[in-house]
Structure 1
Amino acid sequence: MFELPASFVFTTQNQGVNDALDSDVDVATGKTTCINLVLGDTDLTWDAGIYQLSGLGDKVWNDLNKNGIQDNNESGVQNVIVKLYDCNNIFLTQTTTDVNGNYSFSNLTPGDYYVVFTLPSGYVFSPKDQGGNDTLDSDADATTGRTVCTTITSGETDLTWDAGIYETPESTDIEVVKTVSNTNPQNGDQFTYTITATNHGPVDATSVKVADILPAGLIYIGSSSSNGSLYNYTTGIWNVGNLANSASATLTITVEVNLGNCQSIDLGTAEGYNLFVFEDLNQPSADTEGKAAIGGNAYFANYSIGDKLAANSGDVLIVGGHLEYVSGGVFNGNVVYGTSSNLPRYSVSIINGTVRQDNIIDFDAAEVYLKSLSASLSAYPANGTVVNDWNNLILTGTDPFLNVFNVSGSELSNAWGTTINVPNGAVVLLNIDGQSIDWNGGLFVNGTAISNVLYNFYEAKNMLVQGIDVRGTLLAPHADLNFPAGVINGQVIVKSMTGSGQFNNSMFTGNIPCSGSIVNYATLSFSSPSDNNSNNNESFAGVTIGDGQGNAGGGNSGGSNNTNDWVPAGSFGLTEVVWSIAADLSGNLLAGTAGGHLYKSPDGGVNWTLINQGMTIGFIWDIAVHPNGTIVIGTEQGIFSTADNGSNWSGPLGGYVYDMRAVEIDPNTGDIYAAAWGFGIFKSVNNGTSWSKVNNGLTSLIVNSITIDNHGRVFAGTFGGGVFVSQNAGSSWTKSNLGYDFVWALATTSTDIVYAATYGKGVYRSADNGNTWEELNSGLTAEHVYSVAVNANDEVYVSTWTGGVYKLMGVTPSAPGNISTTTSLIWSAVGMNGYGISALMVDKNASMIYAGGTGGTIYKKREDGNFTDVNNELEVPAEFNLSQNYPNPFNPSTSIEFGIREAGQYSLLVYNIIGEQVAELVNGELNAGRHQVHFDANRLSSGIYIYKLVGNKVNITRKMILMK
């Protein structure tokens, strides 16, 4: 038995495997275990380790002169909470300061520690590390109250860790209220928003700013304020100015509804970021595979960012406030911080990038936009079912486009697991209510890709996510997220975040069309003195937009509708979606639906007959006709065929019960190719009797489309892997360098030009067998393209769900006032916008276009005589439009195309992200027609820029990225 000297304690017993070196005594009694010695034994292995306990502490004082140094006349502050952590960020204990402001932590095991001081109400921290005397200066971070880590040795008591605080000036209380003059406007109507900012005191406020970003679908007309202050509709900032105690100011904003300006929702500034946080972030470990943007202060340790990005990805980590990066690495790009940083630091690697101080994201504007988006999404009507099966949530949707679910936050918090079942390729929107969320347990997404799933926590303020693999993107713009463990495979957008969870880089690519319900937020952006009541700093107003006939509207194209040129050619019921259209060898029309029905019409759509009675399938994704007349269909349950016009069916062919999304038949050999979602490509050389997998070299097995050119080359479009090409009838495949991975449809011309319709990036084409591709999106206002068709003259048509049907046309502007005389290819809208078109077919014999989609109706339009002759009339668009610049991102130059529907005075302007005009590309009289301008940004720095077309009856903006 060992007896301890004063102030010592025993070390832990039996550590390691060497009895000659470890301590053998019980830490409580000082006794060893019993030993047995026989005559002549000498055992010298019974030893004891002891050490002295340590401590740390000091004082919190009232820093009257606010200089961060303790002066003789400055007394301590009582009852301040001080928390002790180890340097792995594990909370250990806490204490409070005594009547003299002193505190201490005693009986500590030697090791690494830091403390966090909790500010009393009405105080702020003094500046840190002022002067050269650690016993007198303040050691607390002025923002977080945290000290740096320190090492306490055996027997040491370090009494130098203090904090200076001082009383803040009186704060203000600014209330923001927003109202709308008409909650049910029609498309084309004008209405006004009214924003009132009131200072409830107790002191006067100066430099007050309110942010209000107008959402897509609304065009700014004008504004006025009660105090003469100005509203900048580009940045969304109302500079209210000074507000005396109890005073108010009002702003009215007049807007015009134009749903043609909105095709699909996007995540605004957060687009492209794996992690996007408005305020502060604290992550002591884990990693973010993609880009991260934090508006406030950020703390990282044992952390990597951007390791799954491509090389030279630009700015990878962006922090608006102070960046504290203790250890880890940033890969494939740059680090940008706002106010201050501890970088560079030897323990933090910046791989293939630089560190700089800059301000490139307006986080206040982003927060307002994303709050408005979240609220607008919450108003989307549900079309899926939610069943709570003994605390297991089962969500089922059958819509091939968009499945919306309303989920109770309390049910989600109490659930053991959640399962989502939807068709492959469909989009999932979960609107989850409730202010407090505790999300854990199992989560299974069956059918679609996780890049098509969006979880919208539109009310959440406090979120705990742990022990879960979240598959999809999380939008929670009001939430403080605690994410201690788990993984999120998607984008994360929150107010603030803490924890050690991991973020995997999967961007949201789903197509959610703009709705007739628009919610617009206004929020306090700045006030001096600062505002002390965040509960009344923001307000929103919602409108439900009709189509002019008393019906709720949806997204529409920026191009002409020309619906009068189209006539119905058959209707199968509102619950069906026409997904595929073809013609058999006799010219009979065939139409397959999401609903599982196949219809035939012998007279161009006047009469239709159901020809697959009794088949228990849900989706007919594709129709192909063999040279011998056999009709082959791809369904979610495999391939089926009929040789007698539907009287008898065979299938599933080959016994493969897979989701067969595309069927293509080689016209020269009769070989059948079938694309299976998740299982690659199958081929039959004997009319479907037997099948074989042909996946050699096909690294992405989610195949969505197939086309075959005149030389037998087979092209496969995949959802997540781009385009693959086979030169040998499917024996092997090579990936083509398309540049975008989500492909929905393919088609070829008689000259072997291949067109790829993508899910999120418009249309590409290749004239060299897929070796190189060019992007063709001028005039195309929707980027999710569902179908592409080519007629006998090699004219190309595409359909978009929200934007209708477009035809590719050559344009050669030549009249005075046009900027460019270079011939270019431009998509011309030919109607059906807002009809949810998913299927196109060109009847080559009758020169007729057929289009089908939601609502179960097929429409047709004769090709000749109904299109604008753009070479003679300069392709005058029916609506104003502003195309996405190309290329984008760019370095240092890019081209911008736009359409003017009537002659007049117009400007094309470029702004940086904080609203400063940096370029004037056009300013003058322009003729009606399509125009193109070249923008050289050689003198500008990398970042996000806004370009805007303004003039008589038009105000359209888009964003572009300069990446040097």
Structure 2
Amino acid sequence: MRRIFTLLLVLFLNTVTKAQWTKCNNPAGALPYSLTIQNDTLYLGTLSNGIYRSTDGGFNWTQINNGITSMQIWNIAYVNGVLYASSTNGTVFKSLNGGDNWVLSNTGISSTTIIRNFAFFNNKIFATSTNKGVYISSDNGSSWAQHNSGIVGLVAEPLLIVDTDLFVGVNQKVYKYDSVNQNWISKSTGIPNNTVGSLAYIKDNLQNISLFEATVNTNDVTISTNKGDSWTVAKSGLPSVGVYSLLGIGTEVYLGNDYGVYKTTNQGVSWVDVSGFTNASPAKFLCKSSTDLYVIQEAKLWKKSLASLSVSDQVISVQNVNFKIYPNPSYGNFNIEVTENLIGAKATIYNLLGQKVKEFELKSMTTNQNLNQGIYLLEIEKEGNKTTKKLLVN
């Protein structure tokens, strides 16, 4: 009897865990591969049946292939009011009416490549490719030209716009676009020698930007807090498998890898598994609507409410949690300066492996500390609100 009860309990717990994610009504016979969402309308690119659209969160789907001549869709994106979809042999389709009709839009693109991502920046459309680097279009996709000045290598994947900056991952490097000179500048110091597959960013409660980069063939994840000038490892808690997708939501970053979905709430100091899937299998693509996080896993589309993940599109305001570190960089000794309302707050210092180095209470407006050489993250918490800053000790 006890064994039966235990078995039922395990099955129940597995069901509850799996139920945290809801499997969408995937179109019959389709192999979902990419997803874009605009105004909570889902556009699903598949490797077998072209493109589908859903206006009810993936419950019902309509096939929208009018004008699509190749059913193998590798990427779909909503860019500057236009839908773009890429297929084999350099094929690109675009739609001006939400997918009702599609037209070819690949003049100038090599027939031996596949377009992987799209982005709209400085009134131009940028696209990455599997073996031709970066393409650019100044006429809304009617024609394209390679735009690789400054880039070494031609295997390009992620594009990321951060305010007034554009970043691209090519081979083992990240590049930032120089709009004045119209070329690319390497921003790769500290990035491991593995293919860059994903880029994402978040802003903390003080609007400081953290860039994240991940590689496709290892669990190497790095973070930059200085617009890519340098990167440091941020992968504590991740299994040793490749990463397929990164997505920033609010102050959190989500990651899809061979085992499922992980997230960090502390700028990469540590990652936790939020998969809840019965079988560990690749989480290939992450995307979000205003209410849900979507993932393509096991060639199926799943979703989970953002509320259940305790995240919001809005950056949580913690105006009362602000502090300074000086000197930074330091040579061992440094000061933490806070406002009076933060006296009594908890301060925690982590190394970049996610290990806790120190934890102490802030007993005055200025606290002196000493650390050995290294790169650290200092987190201050008061009444459930947290903010983190980077500290360099030479």
Task: Name 2:380's counterpart in structure 1.
Answer: none
Alignment of 1:354-503 (within 5 A): none
Task: Name 2:241's counterpart in structure 1.
Answer: 783
Indicate if the aligned counterparts of 1:577 and 1:853 stay in contact, CA closer than 8 A. Answer: no
Indicate which of 732, 737, 745 corresponds to 2:183: 732
| Unmatched segments (≥5 aa) in structure 2 | 1-6, 312-350, 356-394
Alignment of 1:56-67 (within 5 A): none
Alignment of 1:440-839 (within 5 A): 562-573=17-28, 576-584=30-38, 586-595=39-48, 597-613=50-66, 615-617=68-70, 619-627=72-80, 629-636=81-88, 637-656=90-109, 657=111, 658-666=113-121, 669-711=122-164, 713-718=165-170, 720-728=171-179, 731-735=182-186, 736-737=188-189, 738-750=191-203, 751-759=208-216, 760-791=218-249, 793-801=250-258, 803-810=259-266, 825-831=269-275, 832=277, 834-839=280-285
Superposed displacement of residue 782, structure 1: 4.0
Classify the secondary structure of the residue corresponding to 1:631. strand
Task: Name 2:287's counterpart in structure 1.
Answer: 841
Superposed displacement of residue 768, structure 1: 1.2
CA distance in 1, matches of 2:210, 2:95: 32
CA distance in 1, matches of 2:308, 2:99: 36
Change (3 A) 1:749 1:623: farther
Change (3 A) 1:780 1:709: same
Q: Deviations over 1:367-390 (max 9, x none)?
A: xxxxxxxxxxxxxxxxxxxxxxxx
CA-based RMSD of the aligned residues comes to 3.0
Superposed displacement of residue 634, structure 1: 2.7
Superposed displacement of residue 805, structure 1: 0.6
Classify the secondary structure of the residue corresponding to 1:562. helix
Q: Deviations over 1:408-436 (max 9, x none)?
A: xxxxxxxxxxxxxxxxxxxxxxxxxxxxx
Classify the secondary structure of the residue corresponding to 2:192. coil
Classify the secondary structure of the residue corresponding to 2:107. helix
Classify the secondary structure of the residue corresponding to 1:810. coil
Q: Deviations over 1:32-82 (max 9, x none)?
A: xxxxxxxxxxxxxxxxxxxxxxxxxxxxxxxxxxxxxxxxxxxxxxxxxxx
Indicate if the aligned counterparts of 2:269 and 2:353 stay in contact, CA closer than 8 A. Answer: no
Q: Does 1:853 align with 2:309?
A: no
Task: Name 1:954's counterpart in structure 2.
Answer: none
CA distance in 1, matches of 2:17, 2:76: 28
Indicate if the aligned counterparts of 1:664 and 1:674 stay in contact, CA closer than 8 A. Answer: yes
Task: Name 1:863's counterpart in structure 2.
Answer: 306
Indicate if the aligned counterparts of 1:695 and 1:730 stay in contact, CA closer than 8 A. Answer: no
Indicate if the aligned counterparts of 2:281 and 2:298 stay in contact, CA closer than 8 A. Answer: yes
Indicate if the aligned counterparts of 2:79 and 2:118 stay in contact, CA closer than 8 A. Answer: no
Change (3 A) 1:724 1:689: same
Amino acid of the residue matched to residue 244 of structure 2? Y
Classify the secondary structure of the residue corresponding to 2:212. strand
Q: Which range moved further: 702-711 or 747-756?
A: 747-756
CA distance in 2, matches of 1:729, 1:840: 33
Change (3 A) 1:597 1:782: farther
Classify the secondary structure of the residue corresponding to 2:271. strand
CA distance in 1, matches of 2:233, 2:97: 42
CA distance in 1, matches of 2:180, 2:262: 32
Change (3 A) 1:716 1:569: same
CA distance in 2, matches of 1:777, 1:617: 39
Indicate if the aligned counterparts of 2:67 and 2:102 stay in contact, CA closer than 8 A. Answer: no
Change (3 A) 1:827 1:655: same
CA distance in 1, matches of 2:179, 2:352: 39
Classify the secondary structure of the residue corresponding to 1:563. helix
Indicate if the aligned counterparts of 1:799 and 1:839 stay in contact, CA closer than 8 A. Answer: yes
Superposed displacement of residue 618, structure 1: 5.1
Classify the secondary structure of the residue corresponding to 1:753. strand
Superposed displacement of residue 588, structure 1: 0.5
CA distance in 1, matches of 2:49, 2:227: 35
Amino acid of the residue matched to residue 715 of structure 1? F
CA distance in 2, matches of 1:630, 1:853: 27
Change (3 A) 1:741 1:731: farther
Larger RCO of the pair (alpha carbons < 8 Å, separation 6+): 2
CA distance in 2, matches of 1:638, 1:731: 26
Superposed displacement of residue 642, structure 1: 0.6
Superposed displacement of residue 582, structure 1: 1.3
Indicate if the aligned counterparts of 1:596 and 1:616 stay in contact, CA closer than 8 A. Answer: no
Alignment of 1:918-933 (within 5 A): none
Change (3 A) 1:663 1:730: farther
Amino acid of the residue matched to residue 805 of structure 1? V
Aligned residues: 294
Superposed displacement of residue 866, structure 1: 4.2
CA distance in 2, matches of 1:645, 1:614: 13
| Unmatched segments (≥5 aa) in structure 1 | 1-188, 190-547, 550-559, 812-823, 869-893, 899-964
Amino acid of the residue matched to residue 785 of structure 1? V
Identical residues among aligned pairs (%): 25
Alignment of 1:122-201 (within 5 A): none
Superposed displacement of residue 631, structure 1: 0.5
CA distance in 2, matches of 1:596, 1:729: 42
Change (3 A) 1:701 1:789: same
Change (3 A) 1:699 1:810: closer
Larger radius of gyration: 1
